[in-house]
Amino acid sequence: MTDLSNTVMVITGAAGTLGAAVAEACEAAGATTALVDRAPDRLRQTRDAGATRLLLEGVDLTSEGAARDMVTAVMDRFDRIDALVHTVGGFHGGDTVQEDDLSTWDAMMSLNLRTAVIACRAVLPTMRDQGGGAIVTVSAGAALSGRAGLAAYGASKAALLRLTESLSEEVKAEGIRVNAVLPSIIDTARNRQAMPNADRSTWVAPDAIAAVIAFLVSDAARAVTGVALPVTGRG
């Protein structure tokens, strides 16, 4: 079983389906968590703050200032940050490159890439001072090959993957590991509503992805960095 005792984790997008699953899995493994979300009150609807759980709501990770304030709050409470799991992201699909408005491209790059850059940059000084840490980003299977109608989304997730790989090379000598998971379609209520006739047997469950992420931030994966790990279930 994954052991995350004595591990302080920052989980962004923690009120979302995947973020909540990651929080549940990592807390069950013993982690102390700082749960971060942009919404002002969604976390409190399902989670209570406690001795080993900090709720940080209304945090806009497109803002460097907000990310710095997030790190300050975590350090004031727990005095260290051992891991960052960045689940913030967005999806848009269905339109061709010709049809997609440039605002869609801006939104995908902002949600899927900019937030990751900002979140990683915010925690890195602390991890460097500590002499190590672990970061996991959430890319997508669509990052690996172009698909009609998914250009903006796929390009943003591919950019996130390159960010992950490049950052891993930059910080691995300092004991900081950086990896990405690449899920296929995640079995969420929103996806079920959007694709009611799809074959869900090939989708991947959020808790299955969360289990992989928990492993990647644990000491069991201490020799793993720069990995782009597909998590596709039966897809």
66 included as an active-site residue: no
Whose CA is closest to 55, among 68, 67, 37? 37
What token pair was written down for 114?
Answer: 């900019």
Phi-psi region of 35 (alpha: psi -120 to 50; beta: other; left: phi over 0): beta
Q: DSSP characters for 168-230?
A: HHHHGGGTEEEEEEEESSB--HHHHHH-TTS-GGGSB-HHHHHHHHHHHHSGGGTT--S-EEE
* Per annotation, catalytic residue among 8, 36, 143, 153: 153
User: E strands along the chain, which residues?
Assistant: 8-12, 32-36, 53-56, 83-86, 133-138, 176-183, 228-231
Phi-psi region of 224 (alpha: psi -120 to 50; beta: other; left: phi over 0): beta
What token pair was written down for 224?
Answer: 């793993």
What percentage of the chain's residues is helix, strand, coil (to nearest 5)? Answer: 50, 15, 35
Coil, strand or helix: which one is 91?
coil
Asked if 125 and 51 count as a contact pair (C-beta separation under 8 A), the reply is: no
Paired with 36 in beta bridges are 12, 56
Active site residues: 153
